[in-house]
């Protein structure tokens, strides 16, 4: 699983390279790729989720695990670019309360700067 990392206005932005579903079959790989892309001093992170087509419960659990990792650094994980089906699932399970979500990366970065 390939995650790209870039700095946008001092905020780490992680983006998946290809469309993917995050599920029980690859959620550990997703967490490992996220951890590998994370810099040692990164606290505020935007996950560009625009290429994530689906999360099952294991995939959602991996997001919680990543959020917890960043909270230990006094940081935060925000999500950008969720598609409509993923957004609807997030709303059904209450993840829209757990994670800040934004329509695009720039909006997410702006939220972390203020």
**Greatest Cα pair distance in the chain:** 37
Mean pLDDT of 46-69: 96
CATH classification at residue 98: 3.30.750.24
Q: Is 24 helix (H, G, I), strand (E, B) or coil?
A: coil
Q: What is the pLDDT of residue 113?
A: 81
Are 70 and 45 in contact, with CB atoms under 8 Å apart?
yes
Mean pLDDT of 45-53: 97
Number of domains in the chain: 1
Share of the chain above pLDDT 90, in %: 96
Q: What DSSP designation does 94 have?
A: T
pLDDT, tens only, 76-87: 999 999 999 999
Q: Tell me the whole-structure pTM to 2 decimals.
A: 0.94
Mean pLDDT of 49-65: 96
Q: Is 20 helix (H, G, I), strand (E, B) or coil?
A: strand
The Cα–Cα gap between 27 and 21 comes to: 9
Q: Say which residue, 76 or 113, is predicted with more confidence.
A: 76
- Residues spanned by the domain of 50: 3-113
Structure token digits, residue 17? 């390279």
- Name the band, by pLDDT with cuts 50, 70 and 90, for residue 114: low
């Amino acid at each position: 699983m390939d995650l790209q990392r870039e700095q946008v206005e001092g905020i780490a932005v992680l983006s998946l390279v290809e469309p993917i579903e995050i599920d029980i079959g690859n959620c550990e790989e997703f967490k490992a790729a996220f951890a590998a892309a994370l810099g040692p001093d990164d606290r505020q992170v935007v996950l560009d989720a625009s290429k994530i087509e689906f999360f099952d419960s294991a995939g959602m659990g991996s997001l919680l695990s990543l959020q917890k990792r960043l909270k230990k650094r006094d940081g935060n994980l925000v999500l950008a670019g969720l598609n409509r089906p993923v957004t609807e699932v997030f709303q059904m399970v209450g993840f829209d309360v757990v994670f800040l979500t934004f329509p695009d990366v720039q909006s997410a970065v702006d939220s972390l700067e203020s």
